[in-house]
Structure 1
Amino acid sequence: MRALIFGLTTSLMFSGEIRAAENGPGVTDSEILIGQTNPYSGPLSAYATQGHAQAAYYKMVNDQGGVNGRKIKLISLDDAYSPPKTVEQHRRLIESDEVFGIVGTMGTPTNSAIVKYVNSKAVPHIFLATGASKWGDVASYPWTMGWYPTYRSEGMIYGTYIRDTIKDAKIAILSQNDDYGRDFVSGFKAGLGEAANKLIVKELTYEVSEPTIDSDIITLKASGANVLFSAVTAKAAAQTIKKAAELDWHPTHFLVQNANSIATVLTPAGLDHSVGIISAAYVKDPSDPQFANDPGMKSYLAFMKQYYPEGDAKDPQNQIGVSIAATFVQVLRQCGSDLSRENLMKQASNIKELELPLLLPGIKLNTSPDDHYPIEQLQLVKFDGKAWQPFGPVLGSH
């Protein structure tokens, strides 16, 4: 089990004057209190398993003695993916619970609702479960840092691939009508370049609260498109795949990695309907035979069995949750005895060549004071009916 923690690349050397600092709120001699929200209810509840996985990981770390003698306590609250609720819950976490920092809060519109508030309070707001580009805007939000590869950069990779490899493409786009969807689409169009307006024949958006997007798929098929870009989340992704199959519509389908889970998306939609879908990956697939003897994967599966047995080890959201928590543990180690909020941000901005056990080979985390994008690489993958098969090189995504 120690591979998940001690397999990390530790970088304890950092520049700057060594000084005595007061510990931040939420830090005692025995405990470090952090907070977050997740959609434990509502339309995106399929993603909330991330919060459970993080809590389980911190329990494992605590069972092994904690970090520098302190145990990590996570308060993870439900915001139902509703921005007003996110604001309410984070006010509670910061003003009532007095957490050390916000770590791993889920969602683009939800984090957008709180980013100005947490920065005004000078509270670390880090390793967010969202790939919006703005989390790397150090000038505007110095206390904020994402974790995912950015949605814009992922979209750009798909657009560039289509521009360079698919002849006579007629593209339809379905995207979630919020910052999440807009980030993907802006990157996608940038990747297509000057040809974007000519290649895109139909573009639709949907609200995350809509019960079904079937009518959108009917409209997109009617456009004559032979390429479909789905900048969606899990529920809409499964509906898209299933409805396209019902309509006997078989475009070359590009599906964002945030919605490409075999367990929670492709299987409900029908694995036979999902063959040929192209996506991107940065975490290892537990169902892929090439990782059967991988030490990081073995440790992860043992961890899930012991600490989160009710979770689906094949759901990539759990791997992401574990990896976010492992990143935070690494940064705490780098903090040493200086557990001020300022030093937490300093160390989060000083991650060097960090290899996490569940990330694909060649993908490493790096940050600096001017670079708040920890993951900037992706691997294109294609679904063969059983697993995602990588093709081409690992691509820079920012």
Structure 2
Amino acid sequence: MSATRHLAAIAVALALVSASCSAALAQKKYDTGASDTEIKIGNIMPYSGAASAYGVIGKTEDAYFRKINAEGGINGRKITFISYDDAYTPPKTVEQARKLVESDEVLLIFNSLGTPPNSAIQKYMNQKKVPQLFVATGATKWNDPKEFPWTMGWQPNYQSESIIYAKYILKNKPDAKIAVLYQNDDYGKDYLKGFKDGLGSKAASMIVAEDSYEVTEPTIDSHIVRLKATGADVFFNITTPKFAAQAIKKNNELGWHPLHFLNNVSSSIGSVIKPAGFEAAQGIISSQYLKDPTDPQWKTDKGMIAWNEFLDKYYPDANRADASVMYAYTVAQGLEHVLRACGDNLTRENIMKQAASIRDLELDGLLPGIKVNTSATDFAPLSQLQLMRFKGETWDRFGDILSGDVGG
């Protein structure tokens, strides 16, 4: 009887060991592009062409993943980062996306840049059920989990930003007469829609003039003259850098000094404010969600110290005054968070599940109080901004962290 019990105990123990081993094996799940030792990540950037300045984003991300690998990888797996040039031309983007998915067999495509390029591959990525994760564009269209469950944005979208400006106006200048200048494309119309949504029922009465320009126009001076003639005392400047500088300069020449809101894609001091003239830009309001590396207030900030140490070791040639470097560092940290959360379940489905389950994530480059949040019905990781006013020769942040949730 004792021997029988002993054999039974051994049998039970073996069964438990077998079950444990099976469970351990079952916990490891991989799709194409992942294994016990590797995670393949694809990326598409304009390393050449008119938008080549953004290529620094891909270079920074490559450096960050080298840092991760040097520190042991993600859950023991090394990252293989494959980044191709599309020169910001959608047909080339399609070609490179196909190469990454079908030839290189990446697990996902991460942070590819630009609205037209990402639009060109969105249907393909969703048909293939390959994550198109944290796209580098502020278009609102990336937050559509019902129609495009494999595509997710990252930065605060254009509508969120303009909703914040609208809220500020309603609170601080409720009797405003607003003139809007916008670029006549999806980018400009996205901002305009958010602005009107933010103003709500008062949009029709508060907006006294809307004027659009084409990117092919050499100057927008005539548009500024027309808008000034309306008597508007608030100006929403929805323009890309070249035209933003023209508008600021022309406003000053005409002696038109409305409360001026400038979309944050054109808030660069180097490419917009300085060419327009510091004096002409005084008092302009814009917004930000990332720490400004040139601002001395962050000198002793823990996150900024980590950023500088990273660049010292892995990307010493980086231009630390370029906001794109901070942007790339921050979004790469976001991907690292998602991949670590996946554990040993590195399927494409679980990547999207984890990306859609982020709660109050704080990252080194984000302003204090701004956190990453997503859900199964909200694919907009960042929707908070802080307003800033141009003063002297720099931006001065003010007020609380504000939310511009679309539809909320």
* TM-score with structure 2 setting the length: 0.85
2:89 equivalent to 1:82: yes
Aligned to 2:367: 360
Q: Matches of 2:220 and 2:212 in 1, distance apart?
A: 9
Secondary structure at the counterpart of residue 389 of structure 2? strand
Q: 1:343 aligns with which of 346, 350, 371?
A: 350
Q: Which residue, 147, 155, 158 being the options, matches 2:162?
A: 155
**Do the aligned partners of 1:44 and 1:234 also contact (CA within 8 Å) in 2?**
no
Match of 2:271 among 258, 264, 267: 264
Alignment of 1:174-323 (within 5 A): 174-208=181-215, 212-323=219-330
How far is 1:297 from its partner? Answer: 0.9
Go from structure 1 to structure 2 and tell me whether the alpha carbon gap of 1:109 and 1:368 turns closer, same or farther (over 3 Å shift): same
Bigger helix share: 2
- Cα distance in 1 for partners of 2:50, 2:177 equals 31
Moved more, 94-103 or 197-206: 197-206
SS of alignment partner, residue 74 of structure 1: strand
Which amino acid letter does the alignment assign opposite residue 127 of structure 1?
A: F
User: Secondary structure of 2:84's partner?
Assistant: strand
The equivalent position to 1:118 in structure 2, one of 121, 125, 129, is: 125
Q: Which amino acid in the other structure matches residue 261 of structure 2?
A: F
Report the Cα distance in structure 2 between the residues aligned to 1:120 and 1:114, rounded to whole angstroms: 10
Matched, 1:101 2:101: no
Distance 2:82 2:188 in 1: 28
Code of the aligned partner of 1:336: G
- Cα separation, partners in 2 of 1:251 and 1:79, compared to 1, 3 Å: farther
2:141 matched to 1:140? no
**Structure 2 unaligned residues grouped into runs of 5+:** 1-24
Task: Find the residue that maps to 2:44 and give its secondary structure.
Answer: strand
The answer on whether the counterparts of 1:262 and 1:315 sit within 8 Å (CA) in structure 2 is no
SS in 1 for 2:376: coil
**Cα distance in 2, alignment partners of residues 264 and 309 from structure 1:** 23
Shift, 1:21, TM fit: 5.2
- The secondary structure found in structure 2 opposite 1:367 is coil
* TM-aligned CA deviation for residue 334 of structure 1: 0.9
The verdict on how the C-alpha distance between 1:274 and 1:75 changes in structure 2, with shifts beyond 3 A counting, is: farther
Q: Which moved more, 1:296-305 or 1:185-194?
A: 296-305
Shift of 1:384: 1.0
Q: Partner of 1:14 in structure 2? A: none
Q: Which residue of 2 aligns with 1:15?
A: none
Q: How many residues align?
A: 382
Q: Which amino acid is 2:56 matched to?
A: T
Aligned amino acid, residue 189 of structure 1 = K
Percent of pairs with identical residues: 52
Partner AA of 1:187 in structure 2: G
Give the 3 Å change call, closer, same or farther, for CA 237–62 of structure 1 in structure 2: farther
The aligned counterpart of 1:50 is: 57
How far is 1:329 from its partner?
0.7
* Farther-moved stretch of structure 1 (286-295 vs 170-179): 170-179
Deviation at 1:222, TM superposition (A): 4.3
Residues 287-345 of structure 1 deviation map (CA, whole Å, 9 limit, x = unaligned): 22322210111221232343333332222222111111110011111111221111111
CA displacement 1:4-48 (0-9 Å, x = unmatched): xxxxxxxxxxxxxx9445422222443322222233344443333
CA contact (8 A) 1:109 1:178 kept: no
Deviates more, 1:130-139 or 1:274-283: 130-139
- Partner SS state of residue 145, structure 2: coil
Tell me, what secondary structure is at the counterpart of 2:346?
coil
Instruction: Please say if residues 43 and 209 of structure 1, whose CA atoms lie closer than 8 Å, have aligned partners that are also in contact.
Output: no
| Deviation of 1:246 (Å) | 4.1
2:320 alignment partner AA? A
Match of 1:130, as an amino acid?
T
1:239 and 1:46 map into 2 onto residues whose CA distance is 21
> RMSD over aligned Cα, in angstroms?
2.4
Q: Call closer, same or farther: CA 1:273–1:383 in 2, change over 3 Å.
A: same
Distance (Å, rounded) in 2 between the aligned partners of 1:110 and 1:26 = 23
Aligned partner of 2:17 in structure 1 is: none
